[in-house]
């Protein structure tokens, strides 16, 4: 596969862009693969990428029922941060954030990583104490965050109202190297790099059944026929319970709709990401100028990629209180995705009761930021059959053994 470079752009400009190759192919499935990964979202594609890059395993198929990146990976609000409280979380999210720094070079595609800084607002005294504690924990974990006062918040975000009528801004947890990236490009970059290593990305192919023999995985049955596999990785976010049921086990996952919306584009007015957990809303400005706004999760389990209507009103109300100038903006689009929630709001990267079936799910409302770190850890689990240090604490058995990794505060706002 030819490398993307400034030279390639110049060369193609001279020949009217007739020489670009397809970024990935449209192969028919082979009879057998060493590893089949179900789900061509960011986590599935990153798993494939690191299987090839770190372990030299390339007889791999990534099977996707729709189009790649068409699940939550292409529906999120792209926030990247690693300011979690517990040590296992800080380790995997910080690994992930640091991999985002070099992702464009690693996959040879511009993923537009923008480390513009992320603030989580403290609007009650309880939140002040909580975020001060997180900043101390992050210092011990080697994650660069600080607790800042309201004046500094105002300096970083001139459009914010720090004297809000209900909840004045009392400070914030500031992570200067957090930020955003272009979500589609993350999926496309990994897909292209995987195709370049000889892997098959098979779109429009739904897995409908999992065959096992003697407690080991044997094959998957798909809308494009039966595919044998040595190992099977289930990386399907909100559909994890369905796939687990096909394989004959249960997961502690609930699937709910989470939604987001964007405004009409306006001139640059905010160059950091702001999250307001108490009033529940968060916002950043895209490179196109749209204000990207995150809403809440539905209060009931469902599979509609839409989200309940009343959340739009609640979210916009919260943000108008925080940023009064947006009251004059028109909203352009609203959409939803199905997220996979665990009880402790931490992910599952784990072996399963069936031999050679591995599962990666439970990233809930905040897994975009985790894509490269998760792929790194999942590839190690699949390649070696045992979790490495990044995944060791995220086994599914923790729910039976009561070893929860409680991140309900870090995930307090749905992002």
Task: Kindly tell me which of 294 and 373 has the beta carbon lying closer to ligand FAD.
Answer: 294
Strand (E) or helix (H) holding 290: strand 290-297
Out of 189, 366, 373, 387, the residue judged to bind ligand FAD by CB under 6 A: 366
Rg (CA), the chain: 21
Shortest spacing between CB 15 and ligand FAD, in angstroms: 35
Q: Please give the Cα distance from 262 to 254 (Å, whole number).
A: 26
Task: Kindly tell me which of 95 and 170 has the beta carbon lying closer to ligand FAD.
Answer: 95
Task: Decide if residue 258 touches ligand FAD (CB under 6 A).
Answer: yes
The CB density around residue 4, as the number of other CB atoms within 10 Å, is 17
SS3 350: strand
Shortest spacing between CB 389 and ligand FAD, in angstroms: 21
Task: Decide if residue 73 touches ligand FAD (CB under 6 A).
Answer: yes
Out of 1, 206, 325, 331, the residue judged to bind ligand FAD by CB under 6 A: 206
Per DSSP bridges, beta strands 348-351 and 357-361 are antiparallel
List for the chain the helix, strand, coil content (%; round to 5): 30, 25, 40
Task: Decide if residue 367 touches ligand FAD (CB under 6 A).
Answer: yes
Task: Decide if residue 373 touches ligand FAD (CB under 6 A).
Answer: no
DSSP states of 206-231 as a string? -EEEEEEETTEEEEEEETTEEEEEEE
Which residues are registered as beta bridge partners of 258?
A: 297, 337
Q: Among 24-32, 139-147, 360-368, 379-387, which window interacts with ligand FAD (CB under 6 A)?
A: 360-368
Task: Decide if residue 35 touches ligand FAD (CB under 6 A).
Answer: no
Name, in order, each residue with C-beta under 8 angstroms of 256's C-beta and a sequence gap of 6 or more: 238, 297, 298, 300, 301, 302, 338, 339, 341
Out of 47, 259, 315, 346, the residue judged to bind ligand FAD by CB under 6 A: 259
Give Cα 346 distance to the centre of its chain.
Answer: 13
Shortest spacing between CB 156 and ligand FAD, in angstroms: 19
Task: Decide if residue 38 touches ligand FAD (CB under 6 A).
Answer: yes
Which residues are registered as beta bridge partners of 254?
A: 341
Q: Contact 251/245 with Cβ under 8 angstroms? A: no
Tell which positions 99-128 bind ligand FAD, by CB under 6 A: none
Shortest spacing between CB 93 and ligand FAD, in angstroms: 9
Q: Among 51-59, 99-107, 234-242, 388-396, which window interacts with ligand FAD (CB under 6 A)?
A: 234-242
Q: Among 19-27, 73-81, 135-143, 189-197, which window interacts with ligand FAD (CB under 6 A)?
A: 73-81
Shortest spacing between CB 293 and ligand FAD, in angstroms: 10
Shortest spacing between CB 240 and ligand FAD, in angstroms: 8
Shortest spacing between CB 6 and ligand FAD, in angstroms: 30
Strand (E) or helix (H) holding 393: none
How far is the CA of 69 from the CAs of 51, 72, 233, in angstroms?
19, 7, 17
Task: Decide if residue 43 touches ligand FAD (CB under 6 A).
Answer: yes
Binding site residues, ligand FAD, CB under 6 A? 38-44, 63-66, 70-73, 75-79, 206-207, 235-237, 239, 258-260, 294, 337, 339, 363, 365-369, 415
């Amino acid at each position: 596969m030819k490398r993307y470079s400034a030279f390639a752009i110049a060369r193609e400009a001279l020949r009217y862009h007739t020489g670009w190759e397809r970024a990935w192919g449209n192969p028919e499935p082979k009879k057998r693969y060493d590893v089949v990964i179900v789900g061509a979202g960011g986590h599935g594609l990153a798993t494939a990428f690191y299987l090839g890059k770190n372990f030299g395993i390339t007889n791999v198929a990534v099977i996707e029922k729709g189009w790649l990146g068409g699940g939550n990976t292409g529906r999120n609000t792209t926030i990247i941060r690693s300011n979690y409280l517990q040590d296992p979380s800080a380790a995997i999210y910080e690994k992930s954030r640091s991999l985002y720094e070099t992702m464009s070079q690693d996959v040879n595609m511009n993923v537009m990583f923008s480390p513009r800084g992320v603030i989580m607002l403290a609007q009650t005294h309880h939140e002040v104490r909580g975020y001060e504690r997180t900043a101390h924990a992050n210092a011990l974990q080697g994650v660069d965050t600080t607790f800042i006062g309201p004046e500094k918040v105002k300096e970083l975000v001139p459009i914010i109202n720090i004297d809000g009528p209900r909840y004045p801004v009392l400070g914030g947890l500031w992570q200067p190297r957090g930020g955003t990236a272009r979500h589609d490009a993350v999926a496309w970059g990994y897909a292209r790099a995987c195709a370049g290593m000889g892997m098959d990305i098979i779109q429009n192919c739904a897995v409908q059944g999992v065959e096992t023999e003697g407690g080991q995985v044997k094959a998957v049955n798909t809308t494009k026929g039966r595919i044998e596999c040595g190992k099977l990785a289930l990386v399907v976010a909100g559909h994890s319970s369905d796939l687990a049921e096909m394989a004959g086990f249960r997961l502690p996952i609930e699937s709910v709709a989470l939604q987001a919306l964007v405004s009409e584009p306006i001139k640059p007015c905010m160059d950091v990401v702001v999250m307001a957990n108490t009033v529940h809303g968060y916002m950043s400005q895209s490179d196109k100028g749209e204000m990207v706004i995150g809403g809440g999760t539905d209060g009931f389990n469902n599979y509609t990629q839409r989200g309940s209507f009343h959340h739009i009103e609640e979210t916009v109300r919260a943000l108008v209180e925080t940023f009064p100038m947006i009251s004059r903006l028109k909203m352009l689009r609203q959409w939803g995705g199905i997220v996979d929630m665990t009880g402790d709001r931490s992910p599952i990267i784990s072996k399963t009761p069936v031999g050679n079936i591995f599962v990666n799910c439970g990233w809930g409302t905040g897994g975009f930021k985790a894509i490269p770190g998760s792929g790194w850890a999942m590839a190690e689990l699949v390649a070696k059959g045992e979790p490495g240090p990044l995944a060791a604490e995220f086994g599914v058995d923790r729910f039976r053994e009561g070893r929860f990794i409680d991140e309900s505060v870090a995930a307090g706002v749905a992002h």
